[in-house]
Structure 1
Amino acid sequence: MQEWIVTIAFILLGLLAGIIGEKVIFTKLRKFVVEKEIPGSEIIFSALHRMTFFWFVLAGFFGAIVYSSLTINEDAKNLLQKIITILFLYTVTLVLARLTAGFVNLFIQRTEGVPASLISNLAKIAVLILGILILLQTVGVQITPIVTTLGVGGLAVGLALQDTLANLFSGFYLIISKQVKTGDYVKLDDGYEGYVTDITWRNTTIKEFKNNIIIVPNSRLASAIFTNYHLPVKAITLTMNIGVGYDSDLEQVERVTVEIAKEVMAEIAPELVEFEPNIRFHTFNDFSIDFKLYMRVHEYFDQRIGTHLLIKKLHKRYQQEGIEIPFPVRDIYVQNKGSESSSLDLN
């Protein structure tokens, strides 16, 4: 009876220690570390979540099994100890996998454009597989036949999962080649366009301006013709077609247009003001002398706001300067029989 009481006492002590450790000590220590802003502390405590309680409980059961040598036979005792060892090693492996994925994510977040999902998940899986193999070796299971079987079975699995593996390796190719990174604005040959938000083991996620999500298989993106508007740099040249009347002073037009373009650049892309905007006249059109305005903006999507501001400011300034933006005019000549022809101006 005394041995049973002590055995139960070990189990209850483990439960109590687990509750105190998780709810009191662990919580207060986490709060203290977070307040001190220690790097990586949140990752560590997230990985250890619930594990403190579980380990104390396992310790209580282990102590109960070791003490209860009279009530449990040796074979059952060894089996229970092996089960507890397996559970402990598995939880340790799980914590290490969480820590690996967390710190990989932390490192990737400091590296611009590198997708986190694919690399962190593969690192986590690698740690789990290695931990399970070590666990099996520890409890006496020979892992050499298992590794051999996995190697032979891997060929069959590879044939069955050709599409999945093609997407996986295509994802690695996209990352290593640096053809596309998270945050890049891309336009596919079939017309889809948006910002790349993530590259997973199977597909690439693209977010449209309308806030829709486009899912593109990695293998398709790797073989597609697409434009990356953030390569080689994010800055892009905005081009705008403008026409002025034939009576306009072209020197004045060039001076005024460049001044307005500089104002817009200072407003939306002040870091690019050293790149002088310029215009190039190119066509004597039917109703106007046409030219192109070239101006640098920070990234692809800034072309919209840049064009918006240019139209507003140029329209206002052209009116002040007396520069005409012509619209089509057609002269119609009507000839009356037996009389002189007359002309009608239709605007």
Structure 2
Amino acid sequence: MSTSSSKSFGLRQDFPFVRMFGFFLSIFTMAVMRSTIDKIVPSPYYSITNKSTGEDYIIFTDDAIWMLILMLFVIFLTLTFIIPIVLYFRGLSKWEWDPTTVVFWLIITWSLSFFFTEIAETNSSIEAYVLVLSKISDGLFVVFFTVFVLRTYSNYIVPLMSDWINIGKSDTQYGPLLDIIGSILIIVFGLTNFLSTFNVEFGVLVAGVGVVGLVIALAAQDTLSNFFSGILLLLDQGFKTGDMIYFNDTYCLIREIGLRSTKIYDIVNHVIIIIPNNALANQNILNLTKPDRYYRLRIEVGVSYDSNPDEVEAALLEVAKENSRH
């Protein structure tokens, strides 16, 4: 008995041919687009005019036209080639957050900003309105650029820096601290540039941040206390993730040291305990993992009164030696 199966067309097995077709189609679209625009809005300049009065509504410069073509080309190329190829090589069936997406929006917002700036320079009647669109595009560009830098820093730079700093220091945990400090600096830098795009003075920004910071500090004292306690726990290196500690009359494993709280696993009761960092920093904790993983315990051994002390000592030493091999 024989069975036969017909090959079905799918994106994964036929991807190279389908995607290459989309790539060359994008190039062809860009090549023919300029000649099409020349027929609609002829040289020496490009404009939208009122046919009855001959008055120009909007005048397009040559650079603005090419920027519009480039923007449309990037959109078409991204949708038909870049996104599918990333999905293919990552083995995904649907689109997820990826640096490619941010780069795509960076190109689009930058192109729109350049396009609107060119329009504003040649159309004095609508210059004020077009400049608003240009500033909005600039602001969106700053937002996407900040997100791109933030994701790149957290996903790529922090692990590399953490591995480099931790060489020969297996007990340190600089990764979370680097992520916290770097992310805060990147967000502050992005916020400053975003507001400066809309001509917000830096002094006003600092004053506003100071007032808001004071209000937040008064309203969230416990949260801030836990936050700084978490940073101190990371810097102090009293324990790290995976260490066994003796805490609150029980044996626990450190699962995660967060910004607000620390998660520990109670071995005896088989539960996860979430402790605010401020409370944990004020507790006496015995780290059983340091200085090494060898433990010293006092064990009571009962023997009969007529036992030979030398034989008992020899037997206990033999048991200790056998267990030390494991």
Pairwise TM-score range, normalised by the shorter structure: 0.5 to 0.7
How far residue 60 of structure 1 moved from its aligned partner, in angstroms, is: 4.9
* Structure 2 residue 112 is matched with structure 1 residue 61: yes
For each residue in 1:103-161, what CA deviation from the matched residue of structure 2 results, as whole angstroms up to 9, or x when unmatched?
22443364534174454234212211122112322442212111122223322321211
Q: 1:88 is matched with which residue: 125, 129, 141? A: 141
Q: Which amino acid aligns with 1:86?
A: G
Alpha carbons of structure 1 residues 236 and 177: separation in structure 2 relative to 1, 3 Å: same
CA distance in structure 2 between the partners assigned to 1:119 and 1:214 by the alignment:
26
- Structure 1 equivalent of residue 255 of structure 2: 197
Q: Which amino acid aligns with 1:234?
A: R
- Structure 2 equivalent of residue 181 of structure 1: 240
CA distance in structure 1 between the partners assigned to 2:252 and 2:174 by the alignment:
16
1:47–1:99 contact (8 Å) kept in structure 2 = no
Q: Which amino acid aligns with 1:51?
A: V
Q: Which amino acid aligns with 1:104?
A: V
- Structure 2 equivalent of residue 158 of structure 1: 217
Correspondence 1:185-334 to 2 at 5 A: 185-189=244-248, 191-209=249-267, 212-267=271-326
For each residue in 1:150-175, what CA deviation from the matched residue of structure 2 results, as whole angstroms up to 9, or x when unmatched?
22332232121111111112112222
Q: 2:154 is matched with which residue: 101, 124, 137? A: 101
* Structure 2 residue 112 is matched with structure 1 residue 112: no
Q: If the length of structure 1 is used for normalisation, what is the TM-score?
A: 0.62
- Structure 1 equivalent of residue 25 of structure 2: none
Q: Of Structure 1 and Structure 2, which has the larger fraction of its residues in helix?
A: 2
CA distance in structure 2 between the partners assigned to 1:66 and 1:130 by the alignment:
24
How many residues are aligned here?
252
| 3-state SS of 2:229 partner | helix
Which ranges of structure 2 fall in alignment gaps of 5 or more residues? 1-39, 42-46, 49-59, 91-96
Q: 1:12 is matched with which residue: 72, 79, 83? A: 72
Return 99-108 or 65-74, whichever deviates more: 65-74
For each residue in 1:19-65, what CA deviation from the matched residue of structure 2 results, as whole angstroms up to 9, or x when unmatched?
3563267678x87xxxxxxxxxxxxxx87241122233335534654
How far residue 14 of structure 1 moved from its aligned partner, in angstroms, is: 3.2
2:71–2:107 contact (8 Å) kept in structure 1 = no
2:112–2:134 contact (8 Å) kept in structure 1 = no
Q: 1:73 is matched with which residue: 121, 126, 148? A: 126
CA distance in structure 1 between the partners assigned to 2:72 and 2:297 by the alignment:
72
CA distance in structure 2 between the partners assigned to 1:130 and 1:84 by the alignment:
18
Q: Which amino acid aligns with 1:92?
A: F
- Structure 2 equivalent of residue 43 of structure 1: none
CA distance in structure 1 between the partners assigned to 2:126 and 2:292 by the alignment:
72
1:18–1:55 contact (8 Å) kept in structure 2 = no
Correspondence 1:335-346 to 2 at 5 A: none
- Structure 2 equivalent of residue 23 of structure 1: 83
| 3-state SS of 2:246 partner | strand
Highest Rg: 1 or 2? 1
2:114–2:134 contact (8 Å) kept in structure 1 = no
Alpha carbons of structure 1 residues 229 and 244: separation in structure 2 relative to 1, 3 Å: same
CA distance in structure 1 between the partners assigned to 2:197 and 2:110 by the alignment:
18
Q: Which amino acid aligns with 1:79?
A: V
| 3-state SS of 1:131 partner | helix
Alpha carbons of structure 1 residues 199 and 119: separation in structure 2 relative to 1, 3 Å: farther
| 3-state SS of 1:187 partner | strand
RMSD of the TM alignment (CA)?
3.3
CA distance in structure 2 between the partners assigned to 1:150 and 1:75 by the alignment:
30
| 3-state SS of 2:199 partner | coil
2:226–2:277 contact (8 Å) kept in structure 1 = yes
Return 140-149 or 223-232, whichever deviates more: 223-232
1:183–1:195 contact (8 Å) kept in structure 2 = yes
Q: Which amino acid aligns with 2:73?
A: L
Alpha carbons of structure 1 residues 60 and 27: separation in structure 2 relative to 1, 3 Å: farther
| 3-state SS of 1:89 partner | helix
CA distance in structure 2 between the partners assigned to 1:263 and 1:253 by the alignment:
16
How far residue 241 of structure 1 moved from its aligned partner, in angstroms, is: 1.9
How far residue 204 of structure 1 moved from its aligned partner, in angstroms, is: 0.9
How far residue 245 of structure 1 moved from its aligned partner, in angstroms, is: 2.5
Alpha carbons of structure 1 residues 118 and 130: separation in structure 2 relative to 1, 3 Å: same
- Structure 2 equivalent of residue 52 of structure 1: 103
| 3-state SS of 1:186 partner | strand
Q: Of Structure 1 and Structure 2, which has the larger fraction of its residues in strand?
A: 1
